[in-house]
Amino acid sequence: MHIFVDGASSGNPGPAGAGILILDSRGKVLVQESVPLGVATNNQAEYLALLLALRHLVALGGPRATVFTDSELLYNQLTGRYRVRAENLRLLHLLAVAYLRTLAVEIRWVAREENRVADRLARAAARKRRS
């Protein structure tokens, strides 16, 4: 499976959203979701998008997946290149790492242009009110 995730925040912090696109190995859309997150920073939204996507992966029974993100911070923190210094990201990071340890998931960084659908979904969610 291929999973594309993105988070967006207007105001940073401000109204935030998560965008998730999950494709099977043939490119068929399994999940396309735009989730309002309430008020959050952009980096919090990136982590929350990843966590929501991993929850979907578990529900789908996906044994293997590649997660694509255009967030250099998220990618570098999850691969151990950067330390998590921001207090508001520590718990989200711990949760993501715990999920990733139980799944066969590879994290890859991609340019924003390669993550357009998730970006569009995240921005749309940031414009919606959380219900």
**Domains, the chain, with CATH or none:** 2-127 (3.30.420.10)
Q: Render pLDDT for 103-117 as a digit per residue (tens, 0 to 9).
A: 999 999 999 999 999
The answer to whether residues 20 and 35 touch, using CB atoms and an 8 Å cutoff, is yes
Q: Does an H or E element contain 98, and which?
A: helix 87-102
- The sign of the CA dihedral 43, 75, 20, 89 is negative
Q: How confident is the model at residue 88 (pLDDT cuts 50, 70, 90)?
A: very high
Encode pLDDT of 26-47 as tens digits: 999 999 999 999 999 999 999 9
The two structure tokens encoding residue 59 = 């529900």
Q: Across residues 68-81, what is the average pLDDT?
A: 97
